[in-house]
Structure 1
Amino acid sequence: MASAGTGSYWPWNDRQGRFSALRAGCFALVLVPALILAWQAWTHQLGSKPWTQAVHDTGTWALRILVITLAVTPLRRILDWNKLIGIRRMLGLSAMAYALGHLALYCIDLAFDWGLILSEIVKRFYLVVGITALIGLVALGITSTDGMIRRLGSGRWQRLHNLVYPIACLGLFHFALQSKIDVTQPVLLTGLFALLIAYRGLSRFRIPLSFTSLALTGLATGLATALAETAWYAFATGASAWLIFQANADIVVYQDWTALRPGHWVAAVGLALAVLHLFRKPAPKPERRQRRQAMASEAAGG
């Protein structure tokens, strides 16, 4: 067995230095987007502007992984799967890595012309928003180690890392602004992010997790996502908000699964988690475990 001092540094090992299938699987999955992108670049599948496409893909994956990172704590509670907490840091660092790759590819696309790069960032609002989010993400990544937790103290460290939520908001806003007209992906990620915030709200207000509370939360967040998408398109195009909102009913009217909108996906995820909550295997409480051990010891002694 690898010692905790050496083996635990490998991404597929847990904090005790033992191999973890969960961590190994997570590590393999976060590499997949980079490998796909590398293969597409090698086989010339990135279109007429390969660097620009690579910039967009890495940015999208940075936000996807960031949202997945923020999902760890709510999922751990909903599914009673405490081991999920072991992959949160890896996911957060992966989101930072893709975000840094996003910036690096942007610099390559502009031929490392630092004057042009700086002028572009300064004069384009969506780039100011994006670089601010990136700086915040890097700050969180640098301070994510056990050593930094000890140096900062758990209270200050937690307050610093709570900034991940406004950082995620800035990243999603940057994504929506640079997407211009088609904001399907940004709205979907924003809706999922809102669902995670809603789950945290249930915990904060001590609302018990149940099929009903989780299902209603999913449906309400799906509706809010549809309304947000409607508002964006109505503002950007000047089209009728009611007609845009009615497009969410196309899946029922035309029986066309390709008509699924972000609001549908968010509601579906919420309902799926509500169902999974019913079939979870509750994790044993520490006090219950200790009580069982004590009773077993007494029985053995008797």
Structure 2
Amino acid sequence: MAIANLRFQPRLATWPVYLAGLLPALWYVYQIFHGDLGADPVKTLEHAMGEWALRFLILGLAITPLRREFGISLLKYRRAVGLTAFLYVVLHLLVYLLLDQGLDWAAIWADIIKRPYITIGMAGFLLLLPLAGTSFNAAIRWIGGRNWNRLHKLVYPAVLAGAVHYVLLVKSWPLEPLVYLGIVLMLLGWRVWRRA
């Protein structure tokens, strides 16, 4: 049940959200230069960028339930959160393509074909491309608000793909990827229940 009387609407500009979103990436840049990424820095960085991407995607998915159920309106920041999530998806992909695979396109293609977690991750990335490409005011006007809203529902399968990608990647079934998947399923289930 929504808490009707609670109305928390922060008055911050959106640029601090982008700035705060960059902090994890800057922290990892600092760690690169100080040799603090462990025995396999490429895998550590690849994993970290993917995990931050998933966190920001989940945060974006949580904005509507927070508003409807608790009166906490963060709608003004949804675009900033979504674009920050996409930035981390791109960083995750770039670490994989450049540092892990060395732009060996034959090996990359073989990975996409043979490894389900990479196939699913790439599918999630492709679903996010039109969302990032239309996340500016001129695109919204050109597409039309209703069509833009329909297009941006692609975030639902994209987030689910990201969570499944993480679960399949880890293979040993530790708790953390399953927690992320559970949160995603809960947020998507809420949308089915509320038809949001």
TM-score tier, shorter chain, comes to 0.7 to 0.9
Distance across 2 between alignment mates of 1:51 and 1:141: 26
Distance across 2 between alignment mates of 1:154 and 1:72: 19
Indicate which of 148, 168, 172 corresponds to 2:139: 148
1:85 is aligned to 2:39: no
SS in 1 for 2:53: helix
Alignment correspondent of 1:3: none
With over 3 angstroms needed to count, the CA separation of the structure-2 counterparts of 1:74 and 1:22, relative to structure 1, is: farther
Indicate which of 47, 51, 54 corresponds to 2:38: 47
Distance across 2 between alignment mates of 1:24 and 1:78: 26
Distance across 1 between alignment mates of 2:13 and 2:187: 22
Alignment correspondent of 2:65: 74
Q: Is the 8 A contact 2:160 2:185 kept in 1?
A: no
Q: Is the 8 A contact 2:163 2:184 kept in 1?
A: no
Indicate which of 154, 157, 174 corresponds to 2:165: 174
1:105 is aligned to 2:95: yes
Q: Deviations over 1:262-292 (max 9, x none)?
A: xxxxxxxxxxxxxxxxxxxxxxxxxxxxxxx
Tell me how far 1:91 sits from its aligned partner.
0.6
SS in 1 for 2:148: helix
1:36 is aligned to 2:14: no
1:95 is aligned to 2:85: yes
The amino acid across from 1:96 in the alignment is: F
1:145-294 equivalence runs, <5 A: 145-204=136-195
Alignment correspondent of 1:217: none
Listed as ranges, the gaps of 5+ residues in structure 2 are: 1-10
Aligned-pair RMSD on alpha carbons?
A: 1.8
* Greater radius of gyration (CA): 1
Q: Is the 8 A contact 2:167 2:181 kept in 1?
A: no
With over 3 angstroms needed to count, the CA separation of the structure-2 counterparts of 1:39 and 1:161, relative to structure 1, is: same
- Structure 1 length normalisation: TM-score? 0.57
Structure 1 stretch displaced more, 88-97 or 157-166: 157-166
Q: Deviations over 1:137-175 (max 9, x none)?
A: 122110122222222222222221111111111111111
Distance across 1 between alignment mates of 2:193 and 2:120: 30
Distance across 2 between alignment mates of 1:49 and 1:109: 10
Q: Deviations over 1:188-217 (max 9, x none)?
A: 112222332344345339xxxxxxxxxxxx
The one of the two structures with greater contact order (alpha-carbon pairs below 8 A, sep at least 6) is: 2
1:65 is aligned to 2:59: no
Tell me how far 1:180 sits from its aligned partner.
0.4
Distance across 1 between alignment mates of 2:25 and 2:31: 10
Distance across 2 between alignment mates of 1:155 and 1:124: 37
SS in 1 for 2:14: helix
Distance across 2 between alignment mates of 1:25 and 1:151: 28
The amino acid across from 2:151 in the alignment is: L
Structure 1 stretch displaced more, 71-80 or 161-170: 71-80
Alignment correspondent of 2:109: 118
Paired residues in the alignment total 185
